[in-house]
Amino acid sequence: MELSEILKTCDHTLLRVDATSQEIMTLCDQAMRFQCASVCIPPCHVAGAKRYVGDRLKICTVIGFPNGYNSTAVKAFETADAIKNGADEVDMVVNLSMVKDACWEEVKNDILAVRKASEGKILKVIIECCLLTEEEKLMLCDIVSKCGADFIKTSTGFSKGGATREDVRLMRERCPQQVKVKAAGGISSLQDAEDFLALGAERLGTSRIVKIAMEQTQA
């Protein structure tokens, strides 16, 4: 697979807690240079990034990140605020406490509130696979699909594990085709990227692929 095609699937990501505005602008420059799908950045940087890139690049941000245990009202407000500031896409974290309590109706309502607040924008739902049982993964695939999300996403990258080939395969097989899969966390090589895309992922949350592209252009 051509590197240029892989780059088009990448949400070029910087979610470090001490990321500076200059680093965010550099991230945007890199994403535009390599024609990435978007940049994925903290909510506090959305407005500045949008002013910087205008319509040249999609801005993605995170909701209830990385723990997912914000109240539903807070997640909905955070989503509306992010979109007001210029976000084109939002990646929300499910409430894992609700998941572990098997409060499936509450999990569904949590996602639906963010779906309503993000109407007209791309919604990705992070289920944090590394903390889930197989049964919980399957249940969340069904719930996320029924809630009208655009993507189901493997991981925040801030927990004890990232995307695995097994999880991407499971999510692609379980979810209907209109629900796309995003693999994120631990994607450190072109082989990782190619494997996840071959298994059915349509987005990759990573910064490493752009770094590889930069290294190749400097060689």
182 is catalytic: yes
126-142, pLDDT tens digit by residue?
999 999 999 999 999 99
29, pLDDT greater than 90: yes
At 205, list the tokens: 């949350």
CA gap 71, 107 in Å, rounded = 11
The percent of residues above 70 in pLDDT, for the chain, comes to 100
* Catalytic residue (choose from 153, 167, 180, 192): 153
pLDDT at 158 over 90: yes
Choosing from 11, 91, 150, 192, the catalytic residue is 91
Q: For 93-122, what is the mean pLDDT? A: 98
**Which domains, and CATH codes, for the chain?**
3-218 (3.20.20.70)
211 has catalytic annotation:
no
39-88: pLDDT as tens digits: 999 999 999 999 999 999 999 999 999 999 999 999 999 999 999 999 99
Q: What's the pLDDT band for 218 if we cut at 50, 70, 90?
A: confident
Which residue is catalytic, options 88, 180, 182, 192? 182
Q: Is the distance from CB of 106 to CB of 68 less than 8 angstroms?
A: no
3-class DSSP assignment, residue 37: coil
pTM for this entry: 0.97
pLDDT value for 219: 59
Q: Say whether the peptide bond before residue 176 is cis (omega within 30 degrees of 0).
A: no
Quickly list H helices, the chain. Answer: 3-7, 21-33, 46-53, 72-84, 96-100, 104-117, 134-146, 165-174, 190-198, 208-218
Q: Does 153 qualify as catalytic in the annotation?
A: yes
